[in-house]
Every structure is written in C-alpha cells, then in structure tokens.
C-alpha cells in the first residue's frame, strides 16, 4: 500500500510527516479509519526497525496523528438467539463440531485459536478445568468447567474414543487427525438460518462475559476468566451488571430517621436488682492549714507581709 502511494525509490530521509499526512487523508476516503490506523502502524514499525539498524535518523510517523477510533464492540446473544443458533448448528452436517464449538465458546470464553486447537491433554476431567499452556498474551490460562462444558466434552470423548491429541479433529481425508479450524461457511449459514444479524465468532466470547456480568459476577472474576491482566478490557461490560455502582449512588440518599429512644427508668434498667440508694448529705469540706507556700495561701515574694496579715486575722 505504501509503495503504491510513495515511490519505492524514495529515500527514507525524504519521507516527511506532511507526505504521510497527505497519504493518510487520501487513504481515508477509500477505506475506514481503523484500516488507515493499521497502515500507519505498519509504517511506524518499519521506521523503528530502520532506526534500530541505523538506516533512518528519526521516525516521521510519530508526528502524524492517528484516527484512534473506538472499535470496542459489544454484541452478545440473547437466550433465545443462543437456542436458535445451537439448534441450527446441529442440523448442519457439512461443518463438524459446529454446535459443540459454539457451546464451549459461550461457556468458557476461550478465544478462537485456543478453542479450535484444544487438545485432550488440556482437559482435566478430574479437577474440572481447562488448562491452556499459552494464550494470546503469552501466559498460561485455566478455565473452570461448568456442567454444560463437562457434559459436552465427555460426550465427545465417549463418542469418538480419540486416538489423536486434538478434541476437534478431522475424522478422515487428507487432514485426518488435524484440528478442524475452518467453520466460516457453516457458522454464517447457521446465523442466516437462525436470523441472527451483525454477529461474529468473537461475539461468542462477548456473550460469555456479558452473561456472567448480568448474572452478578464481579468484573475482577470475569477478567480472570477471560485471561485479561487488568480491568480495562472488561469495563465495556460493567453497565450490564445489575449492582454496578448502585452502592455508590445510594450514598446520596438522605439518612433514614432513627426511631426515638425509649427513656429507661432506674427500675427498668435495674430489673431484678435492688434500687441504688443515693446519699443526699453534702460532702464535708476539709480545712487545710494555711501556711507559707501551702495551696490555700497567696504566695508572694515578701514572707514578712504574709506574717503581718496572719497576725491581723487572729
């Protein structure tokens, strides 16, 4: 694409941000903004590669602004759509394991690559967990199995008695024993028959997360089940939670008026005990002797004056 807009013989030093900006605007008239951003990202990576090998002095793409459109998508199946899709997928014989893959995708949230390449040694029937050794992020991932997934996997294992390592493997032909990875035609046919529009395979993963949130699961739990390190990716499902921010909003409610306290009498407070007798006699005041330096005497720096006052009082 870049060679079509910029001559291959152009020196790297001649490729300026203004030239890239011109190509970006002309390209945006033919394709979507997200596609233009991907093209810019390729050129930016190319210049970074050149700079690492001292073939370019700077990266002109860094001074070009990306469109950065929000491509976050939230499309999930309703329960009725899910049932229609499963019934339709079971009737399509040309696409093997289509219904089972849809069921496992909705109930585990696995990505397409991890699901289609699932091996039997990744399935821990004893502890009811799927163990994926390496995901898109490069980390291992474990997903607990609910009753639906466990029943589906046990049925596949009992029916096929697999002698190959893959769960969804071709039974015969030139690809016998290899995983079945092409379900595009069967999946789109099932969507068309079930009258489900604007839906992709990755939306099954969205369905997994959305259903969990709507049933009360926490965002942290859903992030762990999806294999995300943080909460940024799962915040798109937050508004589906029935309890999301409800406790915070309730802080604005006025405090509930507390019922008046019932005055407790002495007899009621000391039930079963003898009433306390209070001594009404006044306390006796003790007369302390007054002397120089005592607490009852006015202290001055002239002791003889104090002695004269004491003689007059006597």
**Span 135-166, pLDDT tens digits:** 887 889 999 999 999 999 999 998 866 678 89
- Tell me: do 135 and 183 sit in the same domain: yes
pLDDT per residue as tens digits for the range 235-268:
888 888 877 777 677 778 887 765 665 655 555 5
The closest of 265, 95, 107, 68 to 183, measured between CA atoms, is 95
End of a domain among 240, 256, 277? 240
Locus of tokens 């068309």 = 192
Query: Domains in the chain: how many in total?
Result: 2
Domain boundaries, position 26: 2-63
Measured between its terminal Cα atoms, the distance across the chain in Å is 120
Q: Is the pLDDT of residue 1 over 70?
A: yes
pLDDT of residue 277: 58
Q: Is the pLDDT of residue 125 over 60?
A: yes
pLDDT of residue 292: 55
pLDDT of residue 78: 95
End of a domain among 63, 92, 116? 63
Average pLDDT, the chain: 84
Mean pLDDT computed over 105-126: 94
Mean pLDDT computed over 10-29: 94
- Tell me: do 30 and 127 sit in the same domain: no
Locus of tokens 């459109």 = 69
pLDDT of residue 235: 87
Q: How confident is the model at residue 9 (pLDDT cuts 50, 70, 90)?
A: very high
pLDDT of residue 192: 95
- Tell me: do 84 and 199 sit in the same domain: yes
Q: What is the CATH number of the domain that holds 181?
A: 1.10.443.10
155-169, 226-240, 292-306: lowest mean pLDDT where?
Answer: 292-306
Q: Structure pTM?
A: 0.64
Mean pLDDT computed over 278-306: 56
Q: How confident is the model at residue 134 (pLDDT cuts 50, 70, 90)?
A: confident
């Amino acid at each position: 694409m870049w060679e079509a807009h910029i001559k291959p013989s152009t020196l790297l030093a001649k490729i300026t941000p203004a030239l890239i900006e011109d190509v970006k605007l002309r390209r945006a008239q033919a394709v979507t903004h997200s596609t233009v951003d991907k093209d810019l990202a390729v050129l930016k990576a190319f210049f970074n590669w050149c700079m690492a090998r001292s073939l370019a002095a700077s990266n002109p793409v860094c001074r070009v602004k990306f469109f950065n459109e929000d491509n976050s998508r939230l499309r999930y199946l309703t329960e009725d759509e899910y049932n229609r899709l499963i019934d339709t997928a079971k009737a399509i014989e040309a696409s093997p394991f289509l219904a089972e893959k849809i069921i496992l995708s909705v109930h585990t949230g696995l990505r397409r690559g991890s699901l289609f390449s699932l091996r039997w040694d990744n399935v821990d029937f004893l502890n009811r967990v799927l163990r994926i050794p390496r995901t898109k992020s490069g980390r291992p991932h474990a997903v607990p199995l609910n009753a639906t997934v466990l029943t589906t996997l046990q049925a596949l294992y009992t029916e096929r008695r697999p002698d190959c390592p893959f769960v969804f493997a071709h039974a015969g032909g030139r690809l016998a024993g290899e995983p079945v990875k092409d379900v595009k035609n069967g999946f789109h046919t099932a969507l068309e028959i079930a009258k489900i529009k604007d839906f992709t395979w990755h939306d099954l993963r969205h369905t997994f997360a959305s259903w969990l949130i709507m049933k009360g699961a926490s965002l942290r739990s859903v992030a762990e089940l999806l294999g995300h390190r943080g909460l940024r990716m799962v915040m798109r499902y937050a508004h589906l939670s029935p309890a999301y921010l409800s406790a915070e909003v309730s802080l604005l409610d006025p405090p509930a008026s507390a019922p008046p306290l019932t005055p407790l009498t002495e007899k009621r407070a000391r039930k079963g005990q003898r009433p306390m007798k209070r001594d009404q006699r006044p306390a006796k005041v003790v007369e302390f002797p007054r002397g120089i330096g005592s607490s009852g005497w006015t202290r001055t720096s002239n002791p003889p004056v104090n002695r004269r006052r004491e003689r007059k009082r006597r």
